[in-house]
Chain A
Amino acid sequence: MALSICIFAGALALIVSERFDRTKIALVGAALLLLTQTIDQELALEAIHFDTLGLLAGMMIIVRLTEATGLYTFIAIRAGQLSRGRPFLLVVALAVPTAILSAFLDNLTTILLMVPITFLLADAFDIDPIPLILIEVMACNIGGAATLIGDPPNIMIASATGLSFMDFIINVAPIAYFSTAVVVCLLYLAFRRRIRIAPEMRDKVLELDASRSIEDPRELKRLAPLLILTIVAFFVHKPLNLEPATVALCGATAMLAFSRQSLQETLGGIEWPTLFFFVGLFVMVGALEHTGAIDELTGAIVSITDGDRTAELLAITWSSSIIGGIVDNIPLTATMIPVVDSIAGDSGDNAYWWALSLGACFGGNLTIISAAANVAAAGMASRAGQPIGFVQFLKIGVPVTVFSTVLATIYLLLRYT
């Protein structure tokens, strides 16, 4: 057990240090555990959740194919135009599509799509783009919690538990969107002086020709019905007796079949490092489970909370939010899943899973390196000549994380205790 804990803790420390690539760290950790026979090869293979990998790969293909049509750029530009140069409406117009897109696309893709358009709109209005980008990042991380496919922690939780797409919509989406709305309004109040738009600049945004952002209208006509069908299928996957991964992979396959885009380039767009990171991580967590370390951790939590359900829910929510924000919410979720599974036992009490989901997703706002979307936004801002500093982000990220986690806690206590 000591070896599995040492390797896992060492890997986590290296991931936090950001000195090495996280995928390499996870794969080296898994390889060490296999070579030292801390976990045997068959158990390691069983520990890999192939449904998580399938769902991620399927969504990556769907995003890659539909993104090339220009559909999401069109949505972002139209949203910006609807604001008609009113600062509050502009914030809402950017935050709403960000939160909705992040619930269906992964957060990183959402940010990569929204940030360049935000810079463009800010240029048109001649205002500071950074407040708008910070609001988008926060809306993206909170809004991503809304659905089963919105954020990796939810995908992992669904794979481990069999909770359905509708389960997440009913239990997580209400508080995710409520928190997004409150946080966006508060951030608008905080930033309102920096995003004043001169009256003569207000019509500038109407000069953007949104229809020209659709790069390939024929491809969009081919793929849009399949995209809608796939989203509908996610809502009804349970009655159809289909796994979310099956829906994603079948949707991706149908799109590949009808698309005129290069198969090689599309499949090349799959983020293999992310998938291999999951493989390494699953093996490391499998070793923790196999050697009994997870049982020890569970025992520690149960003894601290004295088996009190409310205290357990609070412990899961806040530890996931804070630790997930500091470390990385993917390894945090991977470690917490067997712990929560053990605490929940056979009770069928899903509140523990919603606590984990909300904590892990909301924690993504803590620091500039807490989530891939934050890092990507900072990178783009830096390349655009307006870097976002670590402390500058922290000043917004910490209060937003604490506040949204407080909202999540109140929601959990009111609804599930």
Chain B
Amino acid sequence: MGILSHVPTLRSDRPLREAVETLQEVDVPALPVEDARGSLYGIFGEREFIEAIFPGYIKELRYAGFVPHSLDVAIERRSGCLDKPVGDYTNREPIAVTEGFSDAELAETFLHHRVLIVPVVDAERRVIGVVTRRTFFDIVSARMP
């Protein structure tokens, strides 16, 4: 089983709607985003989409169990975000590993950051592929005696 998944990359200046459609077509929870020069810009995935489509204050609340269903319609007022560039909603944390990464480096990255994929980049920060947390789990768990 190969650890690297070859997935499409998103362009930071393309609309969010297009990114979501691409995300729906692939079987990974997030995709790498690249800038106009083709370098890694960040990660956009399910979590970033939820953050984009729900009101910003939801993230500021410690707990939202008291919010009624009627406010679910509030997301309809934010549908305008689908036409904005995906770069505005991308996770810009500098999360990536370079070719030749070790298992320990991947483990450390998954433990320290709430991401479901880690992009693998070359020396020019161009995306070669991604490692999903699920693939990493499958490979590590298969080693169990």
Residues of A that sit less than 8 Å from B by CB: 67-68, 70, 73, 77, 112, 115-117, 119-120, 123-124, 204, 207-213, 215, 380, 383-385
Chain B 39-75: CB-based contact to A (< 8 A → 1; otherwise 0): 0000000000000000111011111011110110010
- Indicate if B14 sits at the interface (CB-CB under 8 A): no
Size bracket of the B interface: 10 to 19
- Indicate if B134 sits at the interface (CB-CB under 8 A): no
- Indicate if B6 sits at the interface (CB-CB under 8 A): no
| Central interface residue in B59, B66, B67, B68, by most chain A CB within 10 Å | B66
Query: Which residue of chain A has the shortest Cβ distance to B65 in the bound complex?
Result: A212
Are A208 and B68 closer than 8 Å at their CB atoms? Answer: yes
Select which of A207, A208, A384 is within 8 A of B57 by beta carbon.
Answer: A384
- Tally of A-B residue pairs with Cβ under 8 A? 65
Given contact pairs A208-B68, A213-B66, A123 touches B74 in the complex (Cβ within 8 A): yes
Q: What does DSSP make chain A's interface, helix, strand, loop or mixed?
A: helix
- Residues in A with CB closer than 8 Å to B57 are 115-116, 119-120, 123, 380, 384
Q: A204-B70, A208-B68 are in contact. List 7 more A-B contacts (CB 8 A).
A: A73-B66, A77-B66, A116-B60, A119-B57, A208-B66, A209-B68, A215-B62
- Residues in A with CB closer than 8 Å to B59 are 383
Residues of B that sit less than 8 Å from A by CB: 55-57, 59-63, 65-68, 70-71, 74, 78, 81
Across the A-B interface, the 10 shortest Cβ-Cβ residue pairs: A384-B56, A119-B57, A207-B68, A116-B60, A212-B66, A116-B57, A213-B66, A212-B65, A383-B56, A209-B66
Are B55 and A123 closer than 8 Å at their CB atoms? Answer: yes
Cα distance A112–B81 in the bound complex, in angstroms: 25
- Residues in A with CB closer than 8 Å to B55 are 119-120, 123, 384
Query: Which residue of chain A has the shortest Cβ distance to B78 in the bound complex?
Result: A385
23 contacts between A and B (CB under 8 A): A77-B66, A116-B60, A119-B55, A119-B57, A119-B60, A120-B55, A120-B57, A120-B71, A123-B71, A123-B74, A124-B71, A204-B70, A207-B68, A208-B67, A208-B68, A215-B62, A215-B65, A380-B56, A380-B57, A380-B60, A383-B60, A384-B57, A385-B56
Cα distance A70–B62 in the bound complex, in angstroms: 8
Query: Which residue of chain B has the shortest Cβ distance to A122 in the bound complex?
Result: B57
Are B61 and A116 closer than 8 Å at their CB atoms? Answer: yes
Cα distance A369–B70 in the bound complex, in angstroms: 36
- Shortest CB distance B97–A (Å): 29
Query: Which residue of chain B has the shortest Cβ distance to A216 in the bound complex?
Result: B63
- Residues in B with CB closer than 8 Å to A211 are 66
Cα distance A73–B55 in the bound complex, in angstroms: 18
- Shortest CB distance A2–B (Å): 44
- Shortest CB distance A169–B (Å): 31
- Shortest CB distance B7–A (Å): 29
- Residues in A with CB closer than 8 Å to B61 are 73, 116-117, 120
Cα distance A211–B61 in the bound complex, in angstroms: 15
Cα distance A335–B61 in the bound complex, in angstroms: 37
- Residues in B with CB closer than 8 Å to A124 are 70-71
Query: Which residue of chain B has the shortest Cβ distance to A384 in the bound complex?
Result: B56
Query: Which residue of chain B has the shortest Cβ distance to A215 in the bound complex?
Result: B63
- Shortest CB distance B88–A (Å): 10
Query: Which residue of chain B has the shortest Cβ distance to A120 in the bound complex?
Result: B57
Cα distance A385–B75 in the bound complex, in angstroms: 13
- Residues in B with CB closer than 8 Å to A117 are 61
Query: Which residue of chain B has the shortest Cβ distance to A113 in the bound complex?
Result: B62
Query: Which residue of chain A has the shortest Cβ distance to B51 in the bound complex?
Result: A383
- Shortest CB distance B79–A (Å): 12
Cα distance A211–B62 in the bound complex, in angstroms: 15
Cα distance A385–B74 in the bound complex, in angstroms: 13
- Shortest CB distance B76–A (Å): 11
| Central interface residue in A70, A77, A123, by most chain B CB within 10 Å | A123
- Residues in B with CB closer than 8 Å to A120 are 55, 57, 61, 67, 71
Cα distance A77–B63 in the bound complex, in angstroms: 13
Are B66 and A210 closer than 8 Å at their CB atoms? Answer: yes
Select which of A73, A115, A207 is within 8 A of B63 by beta carbon.
Answer: A73
